């Protein structure tokens, strides 16, 4: 630990975040190899254990092994702990431990907390983290109680009901996407109560912690003259806009295919759940292999966008997508100083630049990964299978066309890198690679070039 502390002191905050998450992955890998974690007679390849550790810490949900057939109850509890560490955030868990142990939280730690939660200032970071931890654990507890009670009514095996209820609640709230049924939520495809609860948990986990805390403050009326922030307004509108868009398009594309002959309410809930799960959750009520390539391509793009910043999910994030769309809507070739406006506010130019940087880097990463995996897999897998897998990993979603366990070692390493970057965040990754540059003290003469 002294070596780790020395490295952290010498590193930049971005490098510190990366090291903390790498350390969390190593700890998760070791936990998954403890005695009594695997079922008797089950042998897991070390690369597969590492893959699951990365998937758990990044709350992705892709897994090369079947959780139900591979891990004991003790192992499943460890997986839930890993999902919470990844979902709430390594720095948030570290802060909670520092507070419990009575350790002083210094400037360096506050910088890392600020960076891990996409804050622009260090003021109130510790209080923010404690509020986030309390909120997420409360959501998980309520979800687990509702689901466990319902599962017990359905199957009077208390041990099964409690374990299933807790695991589904943790997996949905952290958008982890792992399950202990071996079939995700397909066994509950006709159970609208379970689906509704799980969708609420997915949304609460992926819409963004600041949105939850602002909504909580508004409900409790603790702040006089309360006003929702621009972040909350843009995030909420974009999140539910993508959610509704996904529902409508899935219904249209699959109406004469997999949904043919179904009742209207069954079609609706299939579309509702699959649109919700593409934010970052990875749980499913229908085998996505049954969908057309068009639907799977749509779901891939929704996974690429991912969830909101400061949430449990990955992807380029909803605010990045919103700013890109707003830029296009406000683009005026005749006015060089045209600004981007939303909800009677102007968006800072640096946020626009960061959005384009994230989008370009994400596009290069994902399409580069697709090419590498196509070469690695040869003719064993189709382009749509690899594209879907890549977008699922980058968006830390966890949906799969069932090919994860059959991938080559090279492809698994590629997906692990994507999952890691998706969880750490592209801004952090870009700054870590390029470093922070001092502002230019001079400017060159400007010259126009032809565009488009």
pLDDT in tens, 306-315: 988 888 888 8
pLDDT digit string, tens, across residues 350-397: 888 889 989 999 999 999 999 999 999 888 889 999 999 999 999 989
pLDDT recorded at residue 184: 84
Helix (H) or strand (E) holding 342: strand 341-342
Residue 292 has phi, psi (to 5 degrees) of -70, 165
How far apart, in Å, are the Cα atoms of 316 and each of 11, 16, 360, 375, 382? 25, 21, 10, 25, 25
Show contacts of 29-33: CB within 8 Å, 24+ apart.
29/53, 31/78, 31/81, 31/82, 32/75, 32/78, 32/79, 32/82
pTM: 0.88
Q: Record the tokens describing residue 65, joined without a space.
A: 């092994």
Q: Dihedral, CA atoms, 188, 166, 424, 207, nearest 10 degrees?
A: 60
Write out the chain's pLDDT in tens, 452 residues. 455 555 555 556 666 677 778 888 998 999 999 899 999 988 889 999 999 999 988 888 888 888 988 999 999 999 998 998 888 776 566 555 555 555 555 555 555 555 555 555 555 566 777 778 888 889 999 999 999 998 888 778 888 889 999 999 999 998 888 888 878 888 888 889 999 999 999 999 889 888 888 888 787 776 667 788 888 899 999 999 999 999 999 999 999 999 998 999 999 999 999 999 998 888 899 999 999 999 999 999 999 999 888 888 888 999 999 999 998 888 765 555 567 888 888 888 888 888 998 999 999 999 999 999 999 988 888 999 999 999 999 998 989 888 888 899 999 999 999 998 888 777 777 766 665 556 667 778 888 777 76
The Cα 424–Cα 115 span in angstroms is 10
For 214, other C-beta atoms within 10 Å of its C-beta total 20
């Amino acid at each position: 630990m002294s070596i780790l502390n020395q490295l952290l002191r010498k590193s930049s905050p971005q490098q510190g975040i990366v090291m903390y998450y790498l350390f969390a992955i190593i700890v998760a890998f070791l936990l998954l190899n403890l005695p009594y974690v695997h079922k008797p007679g089950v042998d897991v390849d070390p690369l597969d254990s590492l893959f699951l550790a990365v998937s758990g810490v990044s709350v992705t949900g892709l897994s090369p092994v079947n959780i139900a057939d591979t891990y004991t109850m003790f192992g499943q509890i460890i997986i839930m702990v890993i999902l919470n560490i990844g979902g709430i955030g390594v720095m948030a868990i570290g802060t909670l431990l520092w507070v419990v142990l009575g350790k002083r939280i210094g400037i360096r730690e506050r910088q890392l907390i600020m960076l891990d939660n996409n804050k622009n200032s260090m003021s109130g970071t510790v209080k923010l983290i404690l509020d986030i931890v309390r909120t997420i654990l409360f959501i998980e507890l309520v979800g687990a109680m509702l689901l466990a009670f319902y599962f017990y009514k359905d199957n009077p095996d208390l041990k099964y009901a409690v374990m299933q209820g807790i695991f589904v609640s943790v997996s949905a709230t952290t958008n982890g996407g792992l399950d202990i049924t071996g079939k995700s939520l397909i066994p509950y495809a006709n159970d609208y109560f379970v689906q509704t609860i799980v969708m609420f948990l997915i949304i609460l986990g992926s819409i963004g912690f600041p949105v939850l805390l602002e909504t909580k403050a508004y409900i409790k009326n603790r702040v006089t003259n309360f006003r929702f922030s621009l972040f909350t307004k843009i995030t909420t509108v974009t999140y539910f806009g993508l959610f509704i868009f996904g529902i409508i398009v899935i219904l249209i594309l699959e109406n004469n295919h997999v949904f043919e002959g179904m009742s209207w309410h069954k079609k609706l809930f299939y579309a509702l759940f699959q649109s919700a799960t593409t934010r970052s959750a990875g749980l499913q009520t229908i085998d996505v292999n049954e969908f057309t390539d068009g639907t799977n391509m749509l779901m891939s793009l929704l996974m690429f966008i991912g969830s909101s910043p400061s949430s449990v999910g990955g992807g380029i994030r909803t605010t990045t997508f919103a700013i890109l769309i707003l830029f296009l809507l406000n683009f005026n070739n005749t006015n060089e100083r045209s600004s981007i406006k939303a909800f009677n506010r102007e968006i800072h130019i640096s946020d626009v630049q960061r959005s384009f940087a994230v989008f370009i880097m994400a596009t290069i990463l994902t399409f580069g990964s697709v090419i590498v995996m196509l070469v690695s897999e040869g003719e064993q897998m189709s382009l749509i299978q690899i594209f879907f897998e890549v977008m699922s990993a980058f968006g830390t979603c966890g949906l799969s066309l069932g090919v994860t366990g059959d991938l080559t070692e090279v492809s698994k390493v590629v997906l692990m890198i994507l999952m890691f970057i998706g969880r750490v965040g592209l801004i952090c990754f870009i700054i870590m690679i390029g470093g922070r540059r001092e502002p230019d003290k001079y400017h060159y003469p400007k010259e126009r070039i032809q565009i488009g």
